[in-house]
Structures are given as C-alpha cells and as structure tokens.
Amino acid sequence: MKVAQVLHMNGGVGDASYANNSSVQQKVIRLTKRIREEGIRSLYCSTLPKSLAIADLGCSSGPNTLFVVSELIKTVEKLCRQLNHKSPEYKVFLNDLPGNDFNNIFKSLDTFKEKLCDEMEGRIGPCYFSGVPGSFYGRVFPNRSLHFVHSSYSLQWLSKVPEGLDNNKGNIYLNRTSPSNVVRAYYDQFQRDFCLFLKCRAEELVEGGRMVLTFLGRRNDDPCSKDGCYIWELMATALNDMVSEGIIKEEEVDSFNIPQYTPSPSEVKLEVLKEGSFCMKCLEVSEVNWNVFDDWNAAEFESERCDSVGDGGYNVAQCMRAVAEPLLVSHFGEDIIQEVFSRYQQILADRMSKEKTKFINVTILLTKKT
Ligand SMILES: C[S@@+](CC[C@H](N)C(=O)[O-])C[C@H]1O[C@@H](n2cnc3c(N)ncnc32)[C@H](O)[C@@H]1O
C-alpha cells in the first residue's frame, strides 16, 4: 500500500466526512491551546517578524483546519495591540497529502477571512493562504521560510506500513498478541519517520522558529498497551467476525496493517534529543474520551448536530470511519465497508458501556536551535 497515495480523511461535508466527524480532534486542539499560545507569543516577541509564516501540517479539511490558524492570528493581533506594534502580514500554508479535500478548504476561505476580520473589529494584517500538497516526511517548504509550524493528530501516521509484519496474524495494528519483531518494526518505522520529519522542518524553519506538535499517543511505555491499540483491536474484532462468517478471507485481514504508531512521551522526547536541531520547551500529556460528547460542552460545539450526542457507539464508529475508510476500501474494496462499520459500532457501544475508553495525546513545544 502506498500510504501517501491512499491515506486521506473522508472529504466533502456528508454524513461520513471528516468535516462532520472530527469533534474528538477539535477537542484535542482546544485542550492544547495554552501551549500554542505560549509558542506563538514567545516566537513573536523574540523575532518580531513583519511577515509571519505559519504552516499547519496534516491540516485535513473541515472546521478544524482553519480553527488553529484563526486562534494563532488572534493571539498575535492581541499582542500587537498590547505592544502598540503594526500587525504583521500572515502567510498561512495548509499542508496535507495530495488526496486531501483542499477544494473544500479553499471554498471556505472568503467566509473565514470576513469572520476573522469582524471578530478583530476590522484590524488585522493581510492574510495570504496557500495549499501545499505533499508528505511532511520530505521537504515541503523552501529553506528558512517558516516561523511557526503546527500539527495535530497527524504525526502518528507513518510514511508506510512497516516491513516484516507477515506474522501479525489476526491483528491490524499492534496488539498484546503481536510478535516482538512486529513491535520492533513499528517502533523502528516511527523513529525513522519522526527523525526525518524533524530534519526537514529544521531546514524549513528560521532560527528560533517554533513547532507545536500533538500526537495521538500513549501514556504507557508498552507499545502494545490498550492506550493506542484498543480502538484498532475492536476494528480487528469486527473484521475477524466477518472472516469466521466467510464474508472476507483470513489472508486479507492478516495482510492488512494500519500505518500508524502511537508513541509514548519518552519515545517522542528521545527522538527530539537524538536528532538535535530543536530544544524541547514543553511536553504535556492529555486525554479525551472516545465519545467526545461524554464531556460535551454545548458552548464548545455549538455547530455540532445534537441528535447523536447520546449514541457513543455511532459517534466513535463515524469518527474512525472518517479517518480509516479510504485505507479499508483500498485493501478490502468498497462492498464490505457498511457491514464493517455497523459491526464496529455495536462492538464499540458494548465496550464503552463497560469501561472508560480514552485517547491519549502527547503535545510538545519545540524551538529551533540557533
Ligand atoms: C486525523 S487528521 C487531523 C487533521 C487536523 N489536524 C485536525 O486536528 O483535525 C490527520 C491528517 O494528517 C494527514 N497526514 C497523514 N500523514 C501525512 C503526511 N505524511 N504528510 C502530510 N499529511 C499527512 C492526513 O491526510 C490527515 O488529513
């Protein structure tokens, strides 16, 4: 499977779209706001840029894409007013893989700019937007062209499915039953990918540039702990049930592996230290319920449809469908998708009625060394 060609979140604005099923990711963005504010404020005060270049890597398409950008611009504008500085101009780069629904973002830009301008009472610096398709596991920007890089819930995606997973039978990701060579292969791929990511960004950022990165991760040192693996284990249960009923072939499940790695805080920290281009200013771990509406705050999600709030199984299955459907379709074909997600929804609902299930987030603030 060529991840860069296959992986993308469900586009458009339909029922199964990422735009309509990304409240978990939005909650994570809200939880990490303070770290972004710290990063952008300290960047502004130390470099006083007249032209501020911000990139969001793995921006996807939907309400979250421009949410972070608007928050960053508002913080800088407020700071400029406090300091009596002229607003900088903003160059905003939205990056994702080529299959991302960039058109949907572009269509919303005029409304976004008008709203932002109204919220800031008409006084903001000029904003220029660009879409930048390409893998962040390679160079996507010119040398020293960026001041601030943000990425949320994207870096757990690997550049490829690790090699040598043939004996990860019955699993679609790491699991307690995964052989040790499989665990090693996933970790090695994460190390290679994240190191390359850091090297590329080190070339692209100006000295003193900042990065705020949030991974879907785990608290625990054990890569096979439930933190990062359980959500995929339950999807594997749905697929394996369909194998036992003869709907899909066992070999198809055995050869399907998710190109993801949910790192622990110490694994993230170790790569930053080893690569050496960045100082780590902050590392925080937070968590969010699988069913984000369990601790739903009406003010936070005023644009959400309220009818599905109580149906945790449905919400989580839709969230995972928006993220994983293109990968499943490319491996198993279109025909089984409805059945997989309807079974997955039942399994999720059952597990969530019996135990507390959470996603773990690992967030870091990095400064490029001078
Ligand atoms: C779960 S979405 C997160 C989107 C958004 N940041 C948010 O918080 O809602 C992850 C995004 O990362 C993108 N992505 C994954 N691997 C990538 C890569 N190598 N280069 C660029 N984008 C990538 C995916 O296509 C997807 O749009």
The predicted model scores a pTM of 0.89
* Phi-psi domain of 202 (left: phi exceeds 0; alpha: psi -120 through 50; beta: other): alpha
pLDDT tens profile 215-266: 999 998 898 888 889 999 999 999 999 999 999 989 999 999 999 999 999 9
CATH, residue 193: 3.40.50.150
Whether 137 is in the pocket of ligand 1, judged by its Cβ within 6 Å, is yes
Instruction: Please give the distance, rounded to the nearest whole angstrom, from the Cα atom of residue 156 to the centre of ligand 1.
Output: 9
Per-residue pLDDT of the chain (370 residues; tens, 9 = 90+): 677 676 777 766 667 777 777 778 888 998 999 999 999 999 999 988 899 999 999 998 888 889 999 999 999 999 999 999 999 999 999 999 988 889 988 988 989 988 888 888 778 889 999 999 999 999 999 999 999 999 999 999 999 999 989 888 889 999 988 899 999 999 999 999 999 999 999 999 999 999 999 999 999 889 888 888 999 999 999 999 999 999 998 999 999 999 999 999 999 999 999 999 999 989 999 998 888 777 655 556 544 454 455 678 878 888 888 888 888 988 888 889 989 999 999 999 888 888 888 999 999 999 999 8
Residue nearest to atom 27 of ligand 1 (CA): 60
In whole angstroms, give the CA distance from residue 214 to residue 95: 16
Q: Into how many domains does the chain fold?
A: 1
How wide is the angle at C-alpha 174 spanned by C-alphas 286 and 10, nearest 5°? 70
Whether 150 is in the pocket of ligand 1, judged by its Cβ within 6 Å, is no
pLDDT at 236: 94
Whether 8 is in the pocket of ligand 1, judged by its Cβ within 6 Å, is yes
Whether 7 is in the pocket of ligand 1, judged by its Cβ within 6 Å, is yes
Whether 135 is in the pocket of ligand 1, judged by its Cβ within 6 Å, is yes
Q: Give the pairing of strands 278-289 and 358-368.
A: antiparallel
Look at the block and give the residue holding tokens 């281009």: 277
Nearest of 153, 257, 288 to residue 212 by alpha carbon: 153
- Residue 64 CA: which ligand 1 atom is closest? 9
Whether 22 is in the pocket of ligand 1, judged by its Cβ within 6 Å, is yes
In whole angstroms, give the CA distance from residue 40 to residue 53: 11
Amino acid occupying residue 109: L
Q: How far is CA 135 from CA 102, 139, 154, in A?
A: 14, 8, 11
Residue 293: which domain range?
3-368
